[in-house]
Chain A
Amino acid sequence: MAITATDEEVTLSRWLELPRTLRSLKLLAGVLAIDLPLAIALAWLTTRTNLIGGRLFTVLAICPLAVPAYISAYAFLSLGGDNGVLVALLGRDSWLLETMFAADVSGQTHVPRMSGYWGAVAALAAYNMPYLFLPVRAVLRQLDPALEEASYSLGQNRWQTWWKVVLPQLRPAVLAGTLIVALHVVSDFGVVSLMRYDTLSAAIYTRFLTFDLAGAARLALLIVTLAILLVSGEMFLLRNTRLDRSAFGSPRVASTQRLGWWQIPAMGFCLVVFGLCTILPAATSVYWMTRLWRIEAEVNIFPALWGSIQGSLPAALLAAAWAVPLAWLSVRYTSRLGHVLQRLPVIGYAVPALAFGLSLIILCSADWVPDMVYHALYQSLPLLVFAYTVHFLAEAVGPVRSSLMLASPRLEETSRALGRGKIYTLSWVTLPLLRHGLVVAAALVFLSCMKELPLTMLLAPTGMLLAPTGMETLARAAWDHTENAQFAQAAPYALTILASSTLLVSLLLWERRRADQ
Chain B
Amino acid sequence: MPLRFKVTEMPCPHCLPMRRILSIGLILMLAGVIQIGSLATCYGQNLVIYCGRSKSLVEPIVERFQKETGTKVEVRYGGTTQLALAIQQEGRRSPADLFWAQDTGALEAITADDLFAKLPADFNKNIIDRFRPTTGTWVPTTARARVLAYAPARVSQDQLPQSVFDLTDAKWKGRIGWAPANASFQAFVTAMRVQHGEEKTAAWLQAMKANQAKAYPKNTPIIDALAAGEIDLGLPNHYYLLGMKKENPNLPVEQTLFADGDLGNLVFVAGIGVLKSSRKQAAAQKFIQYLISNPIQEDFTTRVNEYPVTSSAKPAAASLDPQALQKAAPDVPYSDLEDLDGTLKLLRRLDLL
Contact = CB atoms under 8 A, between A and B. Distances in A.
B270 interface: no
Given A210-B353, A358-B89, A477-B55, A80 B38 contact: no
A211 B81 contact: yes
A83 B345 contact: no
B21 to A, nearest CB: 10
Nearest to B72: A468
Contacts of B134: none
B243 A486 contact: yes
Nearest to B159: A105
Nearest to B57: A484
Given A82-B228, A457-B78, A480 B55 contact: yes
A487 to B, nearest CB: 7
A312 interface: no
A434 B265 CA distance: 63
Nearest to B39: A463
Contacts of A361: 86, 89-90
A465 B35 contact: yes
A8 B345 contact: yes
A470 B35 contact: no
B213 to A, nearest CB: 12
Interface in A431-488: 454, 457-458, 460-465, 468-470, 472, 476-477, 480-488
Interface stretch (A150-158, A263-271, A371-379): A371-379
A469 B243 contact: no
B320 interface: no
Contact of A458 (B38, B54, B78, B216): B78
Interface in A281-330: 291, 294-295, 297, 314
A470 B95 contact: no
Contacts of A381: 35
A23 interface: no
Contacts of A209: 79, 81, 181, 183
Contacts of A83: 227-229, 251-252
B59 interface: yes
Given A457-B82, A462-B48, A489-B56, A484 B77 contact: no
Given A194-B217, A213-B85, A465 B46 contact: no
A44 interface: no
A84 B228 contact: yes
Nearest to A81: B228
A193 B180 CA distance: 12
B215 interface: yes
A104 B95 contact: no
A104 B93 contact: no
B215 A460 contact: no
A118 B137 CA distance: 47
Contacts of B228: 77, 80-84, 113
A469 B43 contact: no
A428 B43 contact: no
Nearest to B42: A463
B73 interface: yes
Interface string B55-80: 11101001000000000111111110
A375 B44 CA distance: 10
Given A8-B349, A104-B229, A194-B221, A374 B247 contact: no
A481 B74 contact: no
B36 to A, nearest CB: 9
B230 interface: yes
A463 B38 contact: yes
Interface string A141-175: 00000000000000000000000000000000000
B34 interface: yes
A98 interface: no
B281 interface: no
Contact of B216 (A196, A212, A354, A469): A196
A110 interface: yes
Given A462-B76, A465-B38, A82 B227 contact: yes
B247 A483 contact: no
Interface in B16-44: 28, 34-35, 37-39, 41-43
A117 interface: no
B120 interface: no
B125 interface: no
A362 interface: yes
A500 interface: no
Contact of B247 (A211, A295, A365): A295
A209 B227 CA distance: 27
B153 interface: yes
Contacts of B55: 472, 477, 480
16 contacts: A82-B228, A83-B228, A83-B229, A112-B229, A210-B344, A361-B90, A362-B89, A457-B78, A464-B35, A464-B42, A469-B73, A469-B75, A480-B54, A483-B54, A484-B57, A484-B220
Given A358-B86, A457-B76, 9 more contacts: A82-B227, A83-B227, A83-B251, A112-B229, A194-B217, A211-B84, A365-B89, A468-B74, A480-B54
Interface of A: 7-8, 77, 80-84, 104-106, 108, 110-113, 115, 193-194, 196, 206-213, 291, 294-295, 297, 314, 354, 358, 361-362, 365, 371, 374-375, 378-381, 428, 454, 457-458, 460-465, 468-470, 472, 476-477, 480-489
